[in-house]
């Protein structure tokens, strides 16, 4: 098991739950405030949401609390830690941007980045896959 865990939790099967309702439920379980202590992003295409904690918490314990929560179980929502990854996908990347420019941008600590090992451009999709030397760069 990794010594580090992700600060993000994936919630699956959220079709019966609006963003507002999910956010309030997560606030209730965690005792934290949405926007100040964590963010929630809904990905409707695959019926999931991702909560990313800004405030340091025991994410594994939070997942456990979610699995024991009556309302979460009634809604048939499941929670799991988001796996740590070394790659991210950047969208809406102008076709004119070079791999070198993307690499420099994502290496900047001011942008939450770190050392980049590879950049793959997909100009026809206005996207790029950025791979970091380790998962700490993809924040």
Q: How far is CA 21 from the centre of its chain?
A: 19
Report pLDDT digits (tens) over 84-106: 888 899 999 998 999 999 999 99
How far apart are the C-alpha atoms of 28 and 40, rounded to whole Å? 14
Question: What tokens were used for 27?
Answer: 């606030």
How far apart are the C-alpha atoms of 95 and 75, rounded to whole Å? 42
For residue 30, pLDDT over 90 is answered with yes
Report pLDDT digits (tens) over 48-95: 999 999 888 898 999 999 999 999 999 999 999 998 888 899 999 998
For residue 127, pLDDT over 90 is answered with yes
The interaxial angle of helices 19-30 and 59-68, nearest 10 deg, is 110
Q: Nearest Cα to 134, choosing from 120, 122, 123, 118?
A: 118
Domains in the chain with CATH codes: 8-81 (3.30.70), 87-132 (no CATH)
For residue 2, pLDDT over 60 is answered with no
Mean of the pLDDT values across residues 26-32? 95
Give me the pLDDT at residue 121, please.
Answer: 95
pLDDT band for position 135 (50/70/90)? Answer: low
Mean of the pLDDT values across residues 23-49? 93
């Amino acid at each position: 098991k990794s010594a580090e865990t992700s600060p993000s939790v994936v919630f699956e099967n959220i079709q019966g739950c609006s963003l507002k309702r999910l956010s309030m439920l997560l606030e209730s379980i965690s005792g934290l405030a949405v926007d100040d202590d964590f963010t929630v992003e809904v990905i409707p295409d695959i019926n999931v949401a991702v909560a990313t904690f800004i405030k340091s918490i025991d994410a594994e314990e939070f997942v456990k609390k979610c699995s024991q929560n009556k309302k979460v179980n009634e809604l048939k929502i499941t929670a799991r830690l988001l796996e740590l990854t070394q790659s991210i996908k950047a969208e809406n990347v102008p076709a004119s941007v070079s791999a070198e420019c993307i690499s420099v941008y994502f290496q900047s600590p001011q942008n939450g980045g770190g050392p980049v090992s590879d950049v793959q451009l997909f100009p026809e999709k206005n996207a790029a896959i950025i791979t970091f030397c380790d998962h700490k760069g993809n924040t």
